Amino acid sequence: MAVKAKRDHYTEITNTLVSAIESALAENTKLPWHKPWKSAGAMRNGVSNRQYRGINTLILAMTPFNDPRWFTFNQIKKIGGNVKGQKSTCILRPVVINKKDENGNKTDDTFMIFKGMPIFNKEQVSGVEFPSLEVKSDNQRNHKAEDVIIDTNAKINHGGDRACYSPDLDLINLPSFDSFESADHYYSTAFHELGHWTGHESRLDRPLNEGRFGNEAYAFEELVAELTASFVCRDLAIDTMQRDDHAAYLKSWLKVLQNDTKAIFRASSLAETATKEIIGQHAEDTELVKELVAE
């Protein structure tokens, strides 16, 4: 009997992401992980209400569904629903494995693997009436986002027409709030730069000065910052907005992903850590510390 080959989740997800980025580049559309979080909230399990984190955020963002609620097959069955003829989406559940010694006994040394878990979107479920989700839309300052930014104690100057972070000065510069097309554009940009800010040696200590525009070190750090902005916006119910210069970054990110199938996993993990650094004391309100578990 032939042994079934193990699924290579790293390659599968990277290839899907590469294809989505190539399409976004060719058609000048949004980045594949950009979803209107504000419209109906972050993607989450429809029963436990726990948000999906890290790489699972990206996996679900690349689906065609707009509703943020997802369910396991057993959950759908329990609530009397049906998903006949529907194709599941496979998210990843981290599993810690104990290494074994030469005698086959478990040791205290561990490593982590990912196991796939199929889930279905609310839009794929029939036979159940779901409550409607509140849709929020405004272009005013977001008080929770303002509190998060203030509580980071980051040094931020407003003015000029350039958004950037200087590691040497440990200083963020942003154009004025009113100069942005919308409040969401402002916060997406602010949290992107705060993503870089978390990498300072006094915080998460990422190698911020190793790269120049166009090389892989620079592109990887930009990817971490972009994902951080998306994850923070996700937790604060803010629409993620596309950068004006996204085409150049898409090309550089493609190179990184094509050369390393685990790059997006590392970047999303670093971005989740950066998100926690930015959200800080506000994490309890956004359920930041919760992880998805199989129901």
pTM: 0.82
Q: Is residue 3 part of a domain?
A: no
Tell me the C-alpha distance between 125 and 120, whole Å: 8
HSE, side-chain direction, 13 A CA sphere, residue 126 = 5
Residue 230 lies in a domain: yes
* Domain annotation covers residue 294: no
Expressed as residue numbers, the domain containing 166 is: 9-126+140-286
Residue, of 24 and 47, whose pLDDT is higher? 47
Q: Which two tokens stand for residue 196?
A: 């870089």
Least confident of 41-45, 117-121, 139-143, 285-289: 285-289
Nearest to 290 by CA among 268, 272, 264: 272
Model pLDDT for residues 254-266, shown as the tens digit of each residue: 999 999 999 999 9
Q: What's the pLDDT at 291? A: 37
Answer with the residue of higher pLDDT: 12 or 76.
76
Q: How far apart are CA 254 and CA 277, in angstroms?
A: 27
Query: Is residue 293 assigned to a domain?
Result: no
In a domain, 176, yes or no: yes
132: in domain:
no
Q: What is the pLDDT of residues 195-232, one digit of tens each?
A: 999 999 999 999 987 766 668 899 999 999 999 999 99
Q: Report how many domains make up the chain.
A: 1
